[in-house]
Chains A and B, each alone.
Chain A
Amino acid sequence: MRGIAIKNVLLGILFLAIVTFQFITVPSQRNAPPPDATVIQLWHGWSGEYADALSEVIAEFNRTHAAGWNGPASPSILAKSLYMPSGAGQDIKFFISSAGGVPPDVIVADGIRVATWASLGTLQPLDERMKAAGIGEDDFWEPCWHQCRYAGRTWALSAAADPNFAMVYNKHLFRQAGLDPERPPRTLAELEDYCDRLTTYRDDGRIEVLGIMPTYGAFGANAVFTWGWAFGGRFYDDETETFTPDHPRIVKAMEWILRMRDKYGGSRNLKAFQAGLQEGSQHPFYIGKFAMQLMYIADAQNIAKFAPSLEYGIAPMPGPEDGEIGSGWIGGWTIGLPRGRRGNDDAAFELVRWMTADPHGTAYMARRMKLLPAYKKSPFFDEIAGNRILEAYYGILQNARHVRPVSPASMSYIDELNRAMSRCMEDIMPPREALAEARERTQEALRKIRERQPREMP
Chain B
Amino acid sequence: MSRTSSWRDRLALSPGDRQRILLGLVFTGPWLLGFLVFTAYPVVASFYYSLCDYNVFSAPIFNGGGNYAELIGDPLFIRALWNTLYFMVFAIPMTMLTALVLAMLLNLKVRGQAVYRTIFFLPSIVPIVASTVLWLWILNPEYGVLNMFIRPVLNLLQDLWIALPDGLLRGLGLDPAYKFPPPPGWLADPAWSKPGLIVMSIWGVGNNMILYLAGLQEVPKELYEAAEIDGAGAWTRVRHVTLPMISPILFFTLVMGMIATFQYFTQAFIMTDGGGGPADSTLFYALYLFNNAFIYFRMGYASAMAWIMFVLIMVCTALVFRAARSRVYYAGG
Q: A residues within 8 Å of B by Cβ?
A: 87-88, 91-92, 95, 98-99, 120-122, 268, 271-276, 411-412, 415, 418-419, 422-423, 425-426, 428, 445, 448, 451-452
* Contact call B185/A271, Cβ cutoff below 8 A: yes
* Contact call A272/B279, Cβ cutoff below 8 A: no
* Contact call B277/A98, Cβ cutoff below 8 A: no
Q: Which residues of B are found within 8 Å of A426, using beta-carbon distances?
A: 190, 278-279
* Contact call A423/B279, Cβ cutoff below 8 A: yes
Also in contact, A88 and B294, with CB within 8 A (given A121-B57, A423-B279, A426-B190): yes
Nearest B residue to A453, CB-CB? B58
Which residues 39-74 in B have Cβ within 8 Å of A in the complex?
53, 55-58, 61
Which residues 278-292 in B have Cβ within 8 Å of A in the complex?
278-280, 291
CA distance A268 to B291 in the complex (A): 28
Q: Which residues of A are found within 8 Å of B141, using beta-carbon distances?
A: 271-272, 275
* Contact call B275/A268, Cβ cutoff below 8 A: no
* Contact call A411/B58, Cβ cutoff below 8 A: no
CA distance A428 to B298 in the complex (A): 28
We find that the number of chain B residues with CB closer than 8 angstroms to chain A is 29
CA distance A121 to B57 in the complex (A): 7
* Contact call A268/B57, Cβ cutoff below 8 A: no
Also in contact, A268 and B61, with CB within 8 A (given A99-B56, A419-B280, A426-B278): no
Q: List 15 A-B contacts (CB under 8 A).
A: A87-B274, A88-B294, A91-B294, A91-B295, A121-B57, A271-B185, A271-B189, A272-B141, A276-B142, A415-B295, A422-B279, A428-B190, A445-B296, A448-B53, A451-B53
Q: 1/0 contact trace for B128-165 toward A, CB 8 Å?
A: 00000000000011111000000000000000000000
A268 interface neighbour in B55, B189, B294, B295, Cβ under 8 Å: B189
Nearest A residue to B185, CB-CB? A271
Q: Which residues of B are found within 8 Å of A448, using beta-carbon distances?
A: 53, 298
CA distance A441 to B279 in the complex (A): 16
* Contact call B142/A273, Cβ cutoff below 8 A: yes
Nearest B residue to A273, CB-CB? B142
Q: Is B188 in contact with chain A by the CB < 8 A criterion?
A: yes
Also in contact, A88 and B189, with CB within 8 A (given A272-B141, A411-B296): no
Q: Is B77 in contact with chain A by the CB < 8 A criterion?
A: no
Also in contact, A418 and B275, with CB within 8 A (given A411-B296, A445-B296): yes
Also in contact, A452 and B61, with CB within 8 A (given A275-B140, A423-B279): yes
| A interface secondary structure, majority | helix
Q: Is B297 in contact with chain A by the CB < 8 A criterion?
A: yes
Q: Which residues of B are found within 8 Å of A445, using beta-carbon distances?
A: 296
- From residue B144, how far is it (CB to closest CB) to chain A in Å? 8
- From residue A431, how far is it (CB to closest CB) to chain B in Å? 14
* Contact call A272/B182, Cβ cutoff below 8 A: yes
Q: Which residues of A are found within 8 Å of B55, using beta-carbon distances?
A: 120, 452
* Contact call B57/A120, Cβ cutoff below 8 A: yes
* Contact call A272/B185, Cβ cutoff below 8 A: yes
CA distance A120 to B295 in the complex (A): 13
Nearest A residue to B144, CB-CB? A275
Q: Which residues of A are found within 8 Å of B279, using beta-carbon distances?
A: 419, 422-423, 425-426, 428
Q: Which residues of B are found within 8 Å of A425, using beta-carbon distances?
A: 278-279
Nearest B residue to A122, CB-CB? B57
CA distance A423 to B280 in the complex (A): 9
Task: Given contacts A120-B57, A268-B189, A451-B53, list 10 more A-B pairs with CB under 8 A.
Answer: A88-B294, A91-B294, A99-B56, A120-B55, A122-B57, A275-B140, A275-B188, A426-B190, A426-B279, A445-B296
* Contact call B188/A452, Cβ cutoff below 8 A: no
3 A-B pairs with least C-beta separation: A276-B142, A275-B142, A271-B188
* Contact call B143/A276, Cβ cutoff below 8 A: yes
B182 interface neighbour in A98, A268, A423, A428, Cβ under 8 Å: A268
CA distance A445 to B190 in the complex (A): 26
Nearest B residue to A445, CB-CB? B296
- From residue A456, how far is it (CB to closest CB) to chain B in Å? 16
Nearest A residue to B277, CB-CB? A422
CA distance A99 to B293 in the complex (A): 14
Also in contact, A88 and B185, with CB within 8 A (given A412-B296, A452-B53): no
B294 interface neighbour in A92, A419, A451, Cβ under 8 Å: A92
CA distance A422 to B188 in the complex (A): 10
- From residue B53, how far is it (CB to closest CB) to chain A in Å? 6
* Contact call B295/A411, Cβ cutoff below 8 A: yes
Q: Which residues of A are found within 8 Å of B297, using beta-carbon distances?
A: 95, 120
CA distance A348 to B295 in the complex (A): 27
- From residue A388, how far is it (CB to closest CB) to chain B in Å? 33
CA distance A428 to B57 in the complex (A): 37
Q: Which residues of B are found within 8 Å of A423, using beta-carbon distances?
A: 279
CA distance A203 to B223 in the complex (A): 62
* Contact call B142/A88, Cβ cutoff below 8 A: no
Q: Which residues of B are found within 8 Å of A452, using beta-carbon distances?
A: 53, 55, 58, 61
CA distance A426 to B297 in the complex (A): 29
CA distance A452 to B58 in the complex (A): 9
Q: Which residues of B are found within 8 Å of A428, using beta-carbon distances?
A: 190, 279
* Contact call A268/B185, Cβ cutoff below 8 A: yes
Q: Which residues of B are found within 8 Å of A88, using beta-carbon distances?
A: 274, 291, 294-295
Interface centre among B57, B140, B279, B294 (most CB of A within 10 A): B279
Q: Which residues of B are found within 8 Å of A422, using beta-carbon distances?
A: 277-280
- From residue B82, how far is it (CB to closest CB) to chain A in Å? 14
Which residues 62-112 in B have Cβ within 8 Å of A in the complex?
none
CA distance A122 to B55 in the complex (A): 12
* Contact call A95/B56, Cβ cutoff below 8 A: yes
CA distance A91 to B117 in the complex (A): 43
- From residue B277, how far is it (CB to closest CB) to chain A in Å? 5
Q: Which residues of B are found within 8 Å of A87, using beta-carbon distances?
A: 273-274
- From residue B54, how far is it (CB to closest CB) to chain A in Å? 10
CA distance A366 to B274 in the complex (A): 31
CA distance A245 to B280 in the complex (A): 19
- From residue A298, how far is it (CB to closest CB) to chain B in Å? 19
CA distance A452 to B280 in the complex (A): 29
- From residue A410, how far is it (CB to closest CB) to chain B in Å? 11
Nearest A residue to B56, CB-CB? A99
Q: Which residues of A are found within 8 Å of B140, using beta-carbon distances?
A: 275-276
- From residue B266, how far is it (CB to closest CB) to chain A in Å? 14
CA distance A99 to B291 in the complex (A): 18
Q: Which residues of B are found within 8 Å of A120, using beta-carbon distances?
A: 55, 57, 297
CA distance A382 to B58 in the complex (A): 47
Nearest B residue to A339, CB-CB? B57
CA distance A121 to B56 in the complex (A): 11
Q: Which residues of B are found within 8 Å of A418, using beta-carbon distances?
A: 275, 277
CA distance A91 to B296 in the complex (A): 10
* Contact call B53/A99, Cβ cutoff below 8 A: no
Q: 1/0 contact trace for B243-257 toward A, CB 8 Å?
A: 000000000000000
- From residue A50, how far is it (CB to closest CB) to chain B in Å? 19
CA distance A329 to B185 in the complex (A): 33
- From residue B190, how far is it (CB to closest CB) to chain A in Å? 5
* Contact call A99/B143, Cβ cutoff below 8 A: no
